[in-house]
Amino acid sequence: MLKILYLVPNLADPAVARRVDMLRLGGAQIDVAGFRRAGTAVPSLDVETYLELDETFDARFAQRMLATVRARSKVRTWAARLPRPDVIVARNLEMLALASRLQSFWPGNPPIVYECLDVHRLMLRGDAIGRTMRGAERHWSRQASLLLTSSPAFVRNYFDIHNALPTEIVENKVIWDDGERGGNPALAEAAGDGPVRIGWFGALRCTRSLQALSGLADAFDGDVEVVLRGRPALTEFDDFPAIVARQKHLRFDGPYRNPDDLAAIYSDVHLAWAIDFFEDGQNSQWLLPNRIYEGCLHGAIPVALAGTETAAFIAHKGIGIVLPDIAPETLRSMLGGLTRERLVQLATAVAAQDTGHFAVNAKACAALVDRLAGLPGTRPELTEAA
């Protein structure tokens, strides 16, 4: 059995739990080490060994770097608490820095996999800070054997330019056991003439999206409702609870469990908002977000912005709505003006898609683990001897 050490910058990130589940479903044994965000509970991860290195804080990049430096200087102390891995997977740049120091701790130098699912805006700056960050990434990447990323646009626009590693694209698909998919409420026999409901789920961090959706709901005064679910980035909003409380036809229903609650929450809305201006023109334009896979798997009609990788993704499959912009008049005409017949047509197209476009099963997870097991330098026999 392949033994993977997973180094992560935020142990409480739900995406970390999903990756652990994917690797375990593929047949690997996982140990995890990393930092935990202040104020978050100890996560319930299905791993052999769980090791917290330090506490870090949201939106405090310098503090996170200092924590990484401290952990790097004490590698020999904390690494002694971990069994030798066959492969080290380092999620994000700071963990790649740890992995490069950690690699020589064990005999045989286990190969490193660099997992980068977002290109941080600091990496794209044209000044000395950006050049320093990219230089550090190139330096530490020299010891890595493979890059894992989640969107072909990241490869085209960044990694093909700044990084020469072999690349594997692992999309943010839902781990799915071929169970029953959720269905769009427009397709229900008792759909009636109720409001059009728009769901914005997942990492809520885009102030422009919140303003646009609030304005649309207000303009239609009950004919359009907006439902928010997930984890709002409170550092990005002036006062998220107060903003939501002021909106009569917009509500926040809190976090949800992934994948347990996906069918229920997406089956409650007609449209899934898949637009994000958090890092406009860069990361937000290139990513393929979790919500595009979660929503489409369970019947929600995706809404994307023209010129983004998300828009290209749904256009290629002939589904969803692509907006030229999110100006109030555009939203009123293209979303607020949807007829019941049009909703049924759009929802039918989504429901007809193969689940493999949006979900992975045990076979796909095993293929990823096999890819990692085949990296040069992977020597499971040393694990047994350790």
- The answer on pLDDT for 84 being more than 70 is yes
Using DSSP's 3-state secondary structure scheme, residue 29 falls into strand
Give pLDDT tens digits for 193-249: 789 999 999 989 999 999 999 999 999 999 999 999 998 988 888 889 998 999 999
Give pLDDT tens digits for 122-149: 899 999 999 999 999 999 999 999 999 9
- The answer on pLDDT for 166 being more than 80 is yes
Using DSSP's 3-state secondary structure scheme, residue 258 falls into coil
CA–CA distances in Å: residue 380 to residues 72, 265, 377? 25, 42, 9
What's the length of the chain?
A: 386
Average pLDDT of 151-173?
Answer: 94
Instruction: Give the model's pLDDT for residue 97.
Output: 94
Instruction: Give the model's pLDDT for residue 236.
Output: 86
Instruction: Give the model's pLDDT for residue 385.
Output: 42
Instruction: Give the model's pLDDT for residue 288.
Output: 96
Cβ count near 156 (within 10 Å): 12
Residue 191 and residue 295: Cα distance in Å, rounded?
A: 19
Mean of all residue pLDDT scores within the chain = 92
Residue 343 and residue 329: Cα distance in Å, rounded?
A: 20
Instruction: Give the model's pLDDT for residue 20.
Output: 97
Q: pTM here?
A: 0.91
- The answer on pLDDT for 382 being more than 70 is no
* Poorest-pLDDT segment among 60-64, 155-159, 264-268, 382-386: 382-386
CB contact at 8 A, 248 and 226: no
**CATH code, 3-174+361-385:** 3.40.50.2000
Domain boundaries for CATH 3.40.50.2000 within the chain: 3-174+361-385, 185-359
Nearest 5°: phi and psi at 304?
-130, 170
Domain 185-359 bears CATH identifier 3.10.310.30: no
Instruction: Give the model's pLDDT for residue 179.
Output: 79
